[in-house]
Amino acid sequence: MHAPLVTWFVCRVPAPLATELREAAAQPVERALVLSSRWRDAVSITRRGSADPTFLRPSDRSITPTVALITWATAWIAGQVLATAVVAASAYSRPSDAPLPLVLASTVAVWLCLLSAMAYTSRRFGCGRFDSDYGLQIRGADLFGVGIGVLCQLVIIPIVYLPLEAIWPERFAEDQVQQNASDLADRASGASTFLLIMVVVIGAPIVEELVYRGLIQRALSSRLSTPVAVAVTAALFTLIHFRPIEYPGLAVFAVVLGVAATATGRLGLPIAIHIGFNATGLLMVMR
């Protein structure tokens, strides 16, 4: 394949195909024919003005599970150090003693570390775009996920805790399960209430879905079966919250999010589900 023709091709195809097409110049004719077929599919999708969420599968990207997990772990540790420094710089020994705005600021500091690391990984190992590398695509139909999130909070999670509360009534009483959220809500007033809503209802769903379903689950899906990838991601998502009493509910909810991400091939639906879930939970403790 002549170099000018390769250049003409790569100007009109997604980044992963562009890389492969450049390499195809030195490959056998059979390889070039396969890639040209994929190019025709890509151009067809582009002309329709929509992107098939399954077109850029995890296997088409070079963000491996090892890279994804190193990215996550390194950024999370750096974020914890930064968050601790933010609180310590304000003369508070523990986050629980700090004012709510400072606690929220430390949370945002962790998010900035995670998102910065993901941006670097996307440029270094992926396509350089969050939509292709992490599935950050949102469609109007995804909004019905808000209702799924409300259903999870009001119906599914209480069902999960019914047998646990029956066996350990004091340990898994509703007020105990909601204790962390209640503590945050009780500390909110005035402008800090608005900040709490923005962090819990908007920020957390977007960042957490990018990190867990976008970075980790998509990378794991390129090497493991879908059920295993969903389960491992759900386990990491649950454990990293460090609230054992909430683990049963978080684990079930994480599986719901993982299935939603897998079924659609994008993050729009799990983000909407997460928003509905967090918004309902916050309203329950603020009433």
The confidence score (pLDDT) of residue 111 equals 97
pLDDT in tens, 254-280: 999 999 999 999 999 999 999 999 999
The predicted-structure confidence for 45-103, as pLDDT tens digits, reads as follows: 444 444 444 434 444 546 999 999 999 999 999 999 999 888 888 877 676 678 899 99
241, 155: one domain:
yes
Residues 279, 174 share a domain: yes
Which of 68, 64, 65, 60 shows the shortest CA–CA distance to 211?
Answer: 68
- 179 and 131, same domain (yes or no): yes
Domain total of the chain: 2
22 in the same domain as 109: no
- In a 13 Å sphere around the CA of 101, the CA atoms on its Cβ side amount to 6
For the packed helices 247-264 and 226-239, what is the interaxial angle rounded to 10 degrees? Answer: 140
DSSP 48: T
User: Is position 235 within any domain?
Assistant: yes
- Both 67 and 9 in a single domain? no
| pLDDT tens-digit map of 11-58 | 455 555 556 656 655 555 555 444 555 555 454 444 444 444 443 444
Q: Per the domain annotation, does 106 fall within a domain?
A: yes
Q: Are residues 97 and 188 in the same domain?
A: yes
- Tell me: do 168 and 274 sit in the same domain: yes
User: In the structure, what pLDDT confidence band is assigned to residue 10 with cuts at 50, 70 and 90?
Assistant: very low
- In 3D space, the residue among 195, 180, 204, 198 whose CA is nearest the CA of residue 284 turns out to be 180
pTM as predicted = 0.79
How far apart (Å, rounded) are the C-alpha atoms in residues 98 and 87? 7
Which stretch of 70-79, 121-130, 175-184, 203-212 has the lowest confidence by average pLDDT? Answer: 175-184
Residues near 241 by beta carbon (within 8 Å), at least 6 away in sequence: 247, 250
Specify if 146 maps to a domain: yes
Is residue 52 in some structural domain? no
Q: Is residue 115 part of a domain?
A: yes
Exposure letters 137-163 (e unless 16+ CB within 10 A, then b):
beeeebeebbebbbbbbeeebeebbee
Q: Is residue 253 part of a domain?
A: yes
- Judgement on whether residues 42 and 161 belong to the same structural domain of the protein: no
**DSSP category for residue 25:** T
Two structure tokens written together for 230:
């969903």
Cα gap 224→230, rounded to integer Å: 10
CA pair distance 16, 63, nearest whole angstrom: 12
Residue ranges making up the domain that contains 213? 58-286
**232 and 167 together in one domain:** yes
**53 in a domain, yes or no?**
no
- Whether residues 119 and 200 share a domain: the answer is yes
Using CA atoms, how far apart are residues 280 and 20, in angstroms rounded to an integer? 46
**Same domain (yes/no): 153, 11:** no
Q: What is the pLDDT of residue 52?
A: 41
Average model confidence (pLDDT) across the chain: 84
Map residue 188 onto helix, strand or coil: coil
Tokens of 145: 């996920």
| Contact partners, residue 190, CB within 8 Å, separation at least 6 | none
3-class SS of residue 222: coil
Is there a single domain that holds both residue 19 and residue 134? no
